[in-house]
Amino acid sequence: EDNSDISQLLSPSNIDRDRLASAASSLAAACSIPCTLQMNHHSLPDVELFDFTKKLQATFPCRFVRAPSRDDTHPPLLAILVGDALSGPFWPQGTGANKAIMSALDATWFVSEWRPTMPEAAQQRVLVHAERAFRCLKNVSSRSTLP
């Protein structure tokens, strides 16, 4: 049923799974792509509809956070986002896997630079590098990742 409210439009009760599977198979055949639909954990064809009207991404790639405790003797923890948690991919561009790998490599570098006892100024330098890498990652497109 057509509906202007996206949440109702994509509601499971509004999706004819058989017709969706048939449409996916027809589209694959029209593009000469071999297609054998697998069953998901609900024993239904593993095809879905996604809402691409919103693209979310983090504001910061990482942060130092203090574990809740009664004293400040515990060093801060480095919390890092990678992959889809950092920047929801826009699948039509085909950059999701590239960004996931690049963000994982960035995270590896952040961890290699971090020390539990490092002074706050050094923590800030790690954050500055992380934010620079994140700005670069946000600008990755299908054109910029081609060999």
Confidence of residue 76 (pLDDT cuts 50, 70, 90): confident
Confidence of residue 4 (pLDDT cuts 50, 70, 90): confident
Task: Tell me the two tokens of residue 76.
Answer: 């801060």
Residue positions counted in the chain: 147
Sequence-separated (6 or more) residues with CB below 8 Å from residue 91: 50, 52
- Give tens-digit pLDDT for 47-71: 887 766 666 678 888 888 877 765 6
Q: Is the pLDDT of residue 77 over 60?
A: yes
The β-bridge relationship of strands 77-80 and 62-65 is antiparallel
Q: Return the percentage of the chain with pLDDT > 70, whole number.
A: 82
- Helix ranges (H only) for the chain are 6-9, 17-30, 96-113, 120-138
More confident residue, 16 or 1: 16
Residues 75 and 85 sit within 8 Å (Cβ to Cβ): no
HSE (side-chain half, CA atoms, 13 Å) at 55: 9
Task: Tell me the two tokens of residue 87.
Answer: 């920047």
- Give tens-digit pLDDT for 86-129: 877 666 666 677 788 888 998 998 888 888 778 888 888 888 88
The pLDDT score that the predictor gives to residue 90 is 62
* Integer angstrom CA distances of residue 78 from 107, 116, 127: 10, 9, 10
* Structural element, H or E, at residue 63: strand 62-65
The pLDDT score that the predictor gives to residue 26 is 92
Alpha-carbon gap, residue 105 to 107, rounded angstroms? 5
The pLDDT score that the predictor gives to residue 91 is 62
Rounded average pLDDT over 12-25: 88
The pLDDT score that the predictor gives to residue 22 is 92
Kindly report the average pLDDT of the chain as a whole number: 80
